[in-house]
Structure 1
């Protein structure tokens, strides 16, 4: 019987009986990461897409929890004024210090703002609607694109990876995130309109590389909300692979109603339904990024 790839599609096999995943490449099993002897300094990764509703925050939450489950110390930075990452991890953001306070006062100790979650090894810099005013306040600041970088520099020695959940735009906050980052992961919904905007995002990353952060690289494009039953999903994924080649991660995240259920519970799906296919997919994504060298 053909094995099943991420998203539930029965995988065809090659002559050597190697399963083929949804991306059209041999479906490899990535090894469980070895424990780390020590922690830090962190590699900083932005999860970025200017289109909303592509699974960016869901990916940030569940990738962070999956990496933590493999013994990595993870800091998730909620850099979206909607505060969805904070809410998805059950963190209260009303009348508490947030990342916004750190942007306005870079002399403030960021450890005062870090919140420990119910997931061992996973901490959060929370955000709330106050962050929406940040671009107005920062517009006249000297080196305004590097303010987040200066904040995270104080925390990086204590973590193995810092994941930044960016807002769905290409404004000053997103440029701050890209300037602070070593790499970018682009969550991309398997839908035509989501595909259209990626070229503009890649152009923004290139501009940041040229002008602000020469070391930033694309760590990968991860296909989300994939439904193997629809021709549209399969065609979009095929076009993504044609456009980005090996930059498309092999792990594909399927569409499931379990994600909103986990969000309501304030838990990652890896904790809410650890045996569910979506939880397994995010753990596989974590292993793949470690195998690619994007995470220690």
Structure 2
């Protein structure tokens, strides 16, 4: 049997991978202080000055009821970028899948006590459950599949929407920023996260179907602001998985900016193979590939969040 003839398409996967690592069209304009990927002039976001002290923390929920939009990736890498700038950051894994914990090398299946126990049992101290990571200034409160039972168990609790607020209270003075990685739903766990937070970052995949649920999420945030947490505000909508070579990605970003205006971050997170690679290595992209454009994007997001007043 003759071997199949050589086909130029055999090189396509490698070519596609290299294409993901190349600068996207329009990047030169950003570098020259002209238009950024969102079609708006890109401001200069200065490196935040060092802090003279730590705390109290500003709590930020990363939330979108649609899965696969980059919530966990953003929680890890935004946290690591803020930690690089000298901020003390606590990550809270609030998704029963435990992807945030796994993505930072925490052996979730071997843990006896997690965020689940803090929510449903008395007598635990959150300080005993906080795990340091390999990244300086970055700690995590882990989760595993046990957390899936918490929603049912909290239904009968008094002030059930405020349980996470109580759990986090003892450590707020120890950190500058707390980032909560929410599960892809608008159930009681997500309501707890929003009730405990000062701000919300909404990662949004640059794909038309991903836009459909944002209006419902914003409506939920408005209800929580009105009924449970008057201080809650949207810190920004973050376009993720962006590919500026496709008309589809560019049109989605333009549509999001048309609908939400300045609530959309100037920073856009481009699609790259380095993010799953860093996840497999169980470390942030800021250390796994420190000079990569993906790492630079999250550093820019950290600077923009500080410049907007969303972090110290």
Q: If the length of structure 2 is used for normalisation, what is the TM-score?
A: 0.90
Query: C-alpha deviations, 1:168-190, integer Å up to 9, x for none?
Result: 00000000000000000000000
Alignment of 1:215-226 (within 5 A): 215-226=231-242
1:176-219 residue CA offsets vs partner (Å, 9 max, x unmatched): 00000000000000001110000000011011011100110000
SS of residue matched to 2:194 = helix
Q: Deviating runs (4+, > 6 A) in structure 1?
A: none
Name the stretch that deviates more: 97-106 or 195-204: 97-106
Q: Which residue of 1 aligns with 2:284?
A: 268
| Unpaired segments ≥5 residues, structure 1 | 1-5
Query: Shift of the alpha carbon at 1:274?
Result: 0.5
Match of 1:110 in 2: 126
Counterpart-to-counterpart distance in 1, 2:146 and 2:90: 21
How many residues matched? 289
Q: Which residue of 1 aligns with 2:193?
A: 177
Deviation at 1:94, TM superposition (A): 1.8
Q: Which has the larger radius of gyration?
A: 2
Is residue 245 of structure 1 aligned with residue 245 of structure 2?
A: no
Matching residue of 2:245? 229
2: distance between equivalents of 1:28 and 1:81?
38
| Correspondence for 1:3 | none
If the length of structure 1 is used for normalisation, what is the TM-score?
Answer: 0.95
1:40-189 paired onto structure 2 within 5 Å:
40-96=55-111, 97-189=113-205
Distance 1:282 1:213 in 2: 28
Stretches of structure 2 lacking an aligned partner (at least 5 in a row):
1-21
More displaced stretch, 22-31 vs 272-281: 22-31
For 2:144 and 2:110, the matched residues in 1 are separated by: 10
CA–CA distance in structure 1, aligned partners of residues 72 and 270 of structure 2:
15
TM-fit CA distance, 1:256: 0.3
